[in-house]
Amino acid sequence: MYCIIDIETTGNGLKGNKITEISIFKFDGNQVVDEFTSLVNPECPIPYFITGLTGINDETVRNAPTFAAISHEVLEITANSVFIAHSVNFDYGVIKEEFRQLGVDFARKKLCTVRLSRKLIPGLQSYSLGKLCSAVGIPINDRHRARGDAMATVTLFQQLLQKPEAETIIKTFLNSRSQEATLPPHLDRKTVDAIPQKPGIYYFLDQKKTIIYVGKAKNLKKRVLGHFYDKSEHEIKLCREVAYVDFELSGSELIALLMESAAIKKYWPKYNRAQKRRVRPYGIFTYEDRRGILHLGYGPLSKTYNPIKVLYSVTDCRAVLTTLCHTFTLCPKYCQLLDSKLSCPKMNNHFGCSGLCKTALDVSEYNSSVNQAVASLENHSETLYIKEKGRNVEEDAILYLKNGEYQGFGFIPKETTITTDADIEPFVQLQENTRETQMIVASYLQKKSAFI
């Protein structure tokens, strides 16, 4: 027995998405044997754009029953039936959430007519209900109303049942081990089957093949499937748009992190919330004033000449300068940490300053300490080639740092000998050194040094 369902909602995200109309047709495989259709009072305002789409406004549902009042009828008609809808995870998710708020665990087997249509009527440009019904000659009366869309879905399902492979495919979809009910409606199962269980990055693309999300994983297949099981509002919105999945192998988690960061900055996917800020770079620099005293300071990289170190926030710059003050007993006034017009005996004591302001220290002696501080930063600016596991047994992944700055990553044959920069540069994909890549590399080097 099947229950073919359509709902109209307030459209306020999954957990705030309240039902305004519901229509359920009980179908035995040949004919409709029962029907339940009702307007529903969502007990909240209906947005104007929803009224524009459905025609349902606050006045329409003012005297309608709440979902709590009709919940027993929904439970009764759907009992021992397969829950069928066009893009089933949306309708099922909203109804399940309504029941959850009533303290009821709603669980039914699911079948998606989008996925079923893609399998049994392949090759169409669109599988939206309107365009699909138009393609197969099914009229829709009262489009974007629950009963009209549910009736059209009943007719569509009847047509699908007449296809030669329908029975076999439906059994496969309903198999408890099958992932069909969890996959996005527009995504081909073969695409998911082709994803390896290896480290790398993956791309979610919509029906126009626009990249809408980039992620990284130690196990690509496991992570991709994890999105489809996640019931958060963000994930459900994302999965409703996923039509294609692409991937790139990385060989290691480190390279995957760097690849992910570069891809997000390049494609700016709509569903990636992290790493999308344009971060302003800052440079730490030194200069000599009219009295011959060496100062340390920081400023926007575009206005900084010959920076000693590049960082990506004022906070990071001040943290580095504070460490240098403590380590080399420098004056915070001459490190852009304290207003030079203010009295600073307490602050100087806090930083361990030697007292240059009170001429307790010779300028040349103080400058010597500043030069030591600068040298300590430059000493960390070595060139490194860090090898990681490659994508296959014949290669290594490589992380390239030049003068302490991240240059990029690449993949290099194992037999390649590296003695100079010229040996490695042909294999390196040059990348921007952003705040995110700095953090990734710094975290990796810190962990690596902990085990040496």
Q: Is pLDDT at 274 greater than 80 in this prediction?
A: no
Summarised one tens digit per residue, pLDDT across range 400-452 is: 887 777 889 999 998 888 777 778 888 888 888 887 887 888 778 766 654 33
State the burial class of residue 450 (Cβ atoms within 10 Å of its Cβ: 0-12, 13-18, 19+).
exposed
pLDDT in tens, 172-193: 888 766 666 678 888 888 899 8
Give the pLDDT of residue 247.
Answer: 97
Give yes or no for residue 315 having a pLDDT over 50: yes
* Per-residue pLDDT reduced to its tens digit, 189-238: 889 989 999 999 999 999 899 999 999 999 999 999 999 886 677 888 88
Domains defined for the chain, CATH in brackets: 2-174 (3.30.420.10), 189-267 (3.40.1440.10), 282-378 (no CATH), 384-450 (no CATH)
Q: How far apart are CA 399 and CA 407, in angstroms?
A: 8
Phi, psi of 299, rounded to the nearest 5 degrees: -175, 175
Contact 73, 36 (CB under 8 A): yes
Query: What is the rounded distance in angstroms from the CA atom of residue 276 to the CA atom of residue 246?
Result: 21
Against a cut of 0.85, is the pTM above it? no
